[in-house]
Structure formats: C-alpha cells, structure tokens
Chains A and B, each alone.
Chain A
Amino acid sequence: MLSPKGDKFIEDILSYVKFSFDRFAIKTELESHLLDKIEDYTEAGQAEDAEESAITDMGDAQEIGLELNKQHNPLVGWIWMLTRLAVVLLVIVDLFFVGLPIVTSLLDDNPIEDISKANIVYNITVNKTVHLDDTVINFRNVIYEGNGNLNIIYDYYETQFWGTGWSLGGIGIISDNLGNEYFAGSGGGIRPIVRRTVENFSDEADTLIIDYDQYNRKYRVEIPLKGGIKNE
C-alpha cells in the first residue's frame, strides 16, 4: 500500500498518458515496481524514508509520463482497440451467418431414417454422380416402399467456394422404363442429403430414369430396380 505521496507520484505520471484504456495496466505496473523498491530499501534498513528513496530512484514523473505516452501512443491504441472490436463483431456475425447454417445442416437428420423400415420393399445403393455447372449431385439410394412411394436419396454440394445464392431445384424428369413419368416436385434447401419422393411408382418398372435437359445442360441417370435387399 502506497502513501498519498506515492499515489500522487503515480497519478502525476499517468496524467501524461493520453490513452486512458492503458492507464490501469500502467498504474498496476508502476505500483508494483515502486513497492518492490520500497521493500528493497526496507530490507536494507532504511524503512523510514524507503518510499521517498524509491520515488527518487524512479525519476521525474513528467519524463516518465511522456515516455510512457510515446510507448502507449493514443492513435495506435485506438486503432488497436477498433480492429480488435471489429474482429470480435465479425466473428459473431460469421458464426451466425456462416457457422450456424453449416452446423444446422450437419445436425440435420438423415432423411432415410424418416422412412419406416417395415415399409421398405427394397433399398438400392446407387452411388452415381453427375455434374451440373458447379453443382455435384450424388445419387445415393433408391428406396421403394410398399405403398408405391419411390424415394430418391441424393446429396449435393457446390465446387465453387464463393456462395452462389440459389440451392439446387429440380433434379430432372423422373420416369421409368415403361414410359411412365412421375411428378417429383422441385425445391432444394441447405440440407446436405435430400429425399425426393415419387408417389405411385410402378412396381413393374425395372429401371428408374432421371433425365435432366434444361438450358443446354443434360444428364441422364438410369438406375436398375428390384435389385435391392428386401425389407432391409
């Protein structure tokens, strides 16, 4: 604990430090330094004028203060504070707008699990990949249910790092080898795995055909059916 004289010495030094955010740290350091010196003088048997001697050793308050103000330049200090604040704010923004959607999509349920196993007639592992501009679509499974629903399970991702703004819509015209066409809807989302269900799919068809032909982009995927594992 310093005397009022010691406190005033430190306050005098701090009055020259313009960057107020650094004053507390400087004050703590100066107090510690001064107390160490007082302790040294006390141990040397000069307890009575230990503080006076320590202050004298420290030097001129104005000189010390001006030197510290140079080291703790207020302009540099403010730039440092602002850049630090900007980084913290941007981390929060990125976590919300970039991190949260990624985490949400990763934690999303696998749509295959939404299909009751008891209803599955067969489940075929496909693993066929097609490219649509910067989008890679990987057809993973075709699951046929007892009620005639045919589920096409696929995932897709963008090869371009720069976000594109629109998620994958339709995957193409869904048909079978018997010439039947089915409505599969459109729309995507940010889910990494998508389930597209075709209702009343013919149980006599032995090939599922996914045919994309729009705006000079084309792909055709033919998937043999009835080759799966019954009631998997």
Chain B
Amino acid sequence: MSRSQKIVKNLVVFLGLCFLFITQTALYLTPLSAHEHSERSLHYGPSEVVHVEDFDGGKYILANYDKWYSCNSVERTLGFFWRTGGGSIGTENDKTKAVAFSWSASYEHFVAYGIINNARVKRIELTLSNGQVLTQTKFYDNMFLIPWTDNTDNNYFGKLKGYDASNKVIFESELP
C-alpha cells in the first residue's frame, strides 16, 4: 500500500471515529439541532422557537409548544460544536394570570422568562434578591426573556412585576 493510499485509509478511519465521537457524545453542529434533540430526549416538543438570545458560552432558546412555554439553553463546546444545556422543558401557561413565568439557573447564568397573557402588559420588571432591577420591554410573540449573570451566590430571583403603558402595576408575583 502506497503512502497516499495509507493517508486515504487514515482519513476514512479518522472521519469514522469523528462521527462516532460526535454522535455518541451528543454533539451537534448547530444550536437549534442541539435544542431539538434535547427536547426530544426529554420527551417534550417539538416546540416553536420564538427567540434565540446569546449568553456567554451559549444560547437561550425561548419557545412554546401547545400549552407550554420554555426557555431551553444550549452551550458551545469544543470550539464549534453545540450540546444541550440546562435541559429546561415546558411550564404550562396559566392563562388566568396576566403574566405566566418561570426561571432557571445554570452555574452563574440565570434567566427569567414567561408569556404575557394580558395584552395591557407593556413592560416587565424583575427585582433580584440584592435589589437590582432588570427591565424588559421587548417581547417576542408575547414572550419575554430576562437573562442575568451572577457568581456571588446571592443574586437570585426576587419579584416580577408587569406594568401597563401608564406604568401601572397590573401583575406582581414573587417566585413562581
């Protein structure tokens, strides 16, 4: 076998081993592919993605499926692959509430997310446990996302309020 043939053989074996590694360690080439496989393995979805937002090292995927809403996360790994992140699945939308929401944390990355059931709500305000206030006025198909980062272990979800256009509070809740 010539050296060129040996190179071809090595490349074929290399690609086969790469395929085995990628498939069996659940690595994906795109964030949405990682998200879809994550949902399916959790026996949820497929959800309709309404918004994708970057965070340090990954992406939040805001989505809804039937009567549930979710904010899954996927993480970049080994330079250009994606893998499942927090494995968040759906929370049922309680339509009796002006704002249905949930939150999750993975290491220092936190995110509050939800769905607005009352069209009068124009602004969401999240107060963290250390008093910091985060505001969101941008909604995606009536869904919102408020990410924050904290590595002090004392900056958790505090209170969430929904305001109408005249800054009147029409929804207020502590931990869901």
Contact = CB atoms under 8 A, between A and B. Distances in A.
Interface of A: 73, 76-77, 79-80, 83-84, 86-87, 90-91, 93-94, 97-98, 132-135, 158, 161-167, 169, 214-217
Contacts of B43: 132-133, 135, 214-215, 217
A133 B43 CA distance: 6
B94 interface: no
B118 to A, nearest CB: 25
Of listed B3, B4, B65, residue having the most chain A CB within 10 A: B3
B40 interface: yes
Contacts, number: 88
A73 B20 CA distance: 32
Task: For chain B, give the interface size range.
Answer: 20 to 34
A22 B90 CA distance: 61
Contact of B11 (A83, A158, A167, A215): A83
A97 B21 contact: yes
A162 B3 contact: no
A215 B45 contact: yes
Of listed A77, A91, A165, residue having the most chain B CB within 10 A: A165
B12 to A, nearest CB: 10
B75 to A, nearest CB: 11
Contact of B41 (A73, A91, A164): A164
B41 A166 contact: yes
A162 B37 CA distance: 9
B42 interface: yes
B68 interface: yes
